[in-house]
Amino acid sequence: MTDPAGLSIPEAAAALREGRLTARQLTEAALARIAARNDRLHAFTQLNPLALDEADRADLLLASGDAGPFCGIPVAVKDLIDVGDLPATGGSAVLSGRIAATDAVAVARLRAQGAVILGKVATYEFAMVGPDQGLPDPPARNPWDLGHITGGSSSGSAAAVAGGLVRLALGTDTGGSIRSPAAYCGFVGLKPTYERVSRAGAFPLSPSLDHVGPLAATVEEAALALDAMTEAPALWRPASGRLGRGLAGLRIGYARDWFAQDPLASPALIRAMDDAAACLSMLGATITQVTLPDYALYEAAGSVILHAEALAEHEALIRTRLAHYGRPVLQCLAFGAAVDPEDLARARDAQARLTKATQRAMEPFDLVITATTLTPALPFSAFDGDKAVWTPMRTIPFNVTGQPVLSLPVGFDGGLPLGMQIIGRNGDEDMICAAGHGFERATDHSVQRPPV
């Protein structure tokens, strides 16, 4: 057999069920890759010392025939999401020494199916800003070029999946923290509908905007993982339910003016997105340009809500652990201190109006596509010194509206990946995953792997 760590989740699951592979062998293969690559990628910050024991328990379940679809599958977890008995620091010295008492709900749902938790992976400090060289753990590095960032804040999740250490990692997304790393590192990120996946056990950044979701090597793996993590699954259509059905008859709105008119947009990105729209058309979808509300309005409303809620979440810790915060995070929290109640009320009113306006704009369509980020990943050198660096993205609008979004590879610029977002209505994860899966199978973007 080829290296088990290179098998997709469906391939590995079939081999496990058929007895051609054991969960211990699969876990050992993943641990071997981590040992060989993590010193360069800085993805994992803490391995689970009981991972092989968990694999052995999964093998017993497999032998009994009482195994869930993720039984024996290795998973990495962002260090913003609790895993019982493992460190849970949010990537910050503020919570140094904290050990999670129990699993977060999303982790518990995967573990109930026999998934093997390999360990915790890096995050920007409290999911706010980064990369920060002054944190307890070094920032994760982009497997396509170790001199470039992965994007954040699910930075270690991105390095782990793109670097081939795991096929699945859990992340959080408050303004794009699943989708931008997926775009920068050339794989799939799925932000579900707001509250489809429980946030319990994930350290909050901004509860109104926070989402928990999967980062995975392919659309199918992301969809299957979302199904496994979904809270109250009877209330939701399975994200994997339409995979393979094709795109014939789909009406897709193309929000091209959201990025193509921006002077920061990479010319390679514009070409890649136009090629993607043409590909979807050849697959049977009808593509029509759509005008969404001004992106800056979403960003303004989302920024006010995010910073105000972040400060509220950190007030108690600031009083006792102020000196342990990194400078960039304190600057971010200071912005929250400048938001008064009237500002926050206006931002929430804007959130409601923008959500309705987005729904109206999408009425003629089944889905909307647009770019995930405007450029490929920036080099670490761009973050030298104390200057603030803005990485242009098109992600926060759908934290504001709560809609499900899939980001997947769409091409390259100078050897670094670019990403496309597919946006659906609330609960339409099955639709966006079907479209993404069809695009993925019609192109070679998702089979490209970095040199590491």
Catalytically active residues are 78, 153, 177
* Phi/psi of residue 329, nearest 5 degrees: -70, -40
The answer to whether 402 and 208 have CB atoms below 8 angstroms apart is no
Angstrom distance (rounded) from CA 215 to CA 434: 17
Q: How wide is the angle at C-alpha 161 spanned by C-alphas 156 and 167, nearest 5°?
A: 135
Angstrom distance (rounded) from CA 119 to CA 159: 14
Of residues 125, 129, 119, 133, the one with CA closest to residue 89: 125
- The two beta strands, 74-78 and 168-173, are parallel
Angstrom distance (rounded) from CA 136 to CA 152: 16
Taking each helix axis from N to C end, the angle separating 429-442 and 267-282, rounded to the nearest 10 degrees, works out to 100
Hey, what are 316's tokens?
């108690």
Q: Give strand pairing partners of 447.
A: none
Question: What type of residue sits at position 188?
Answer: V
Angstrom distance (rounded) from CA 441 to CA 421: 16
Angstrom distance (rounded) from CA 152 to CA 429: 23
* Phi/psi of residue 168, nearest 5 degrees: -145, 135
Hey, what are 452's tokens?
């590491």
Largest Cα span, the chain? 62
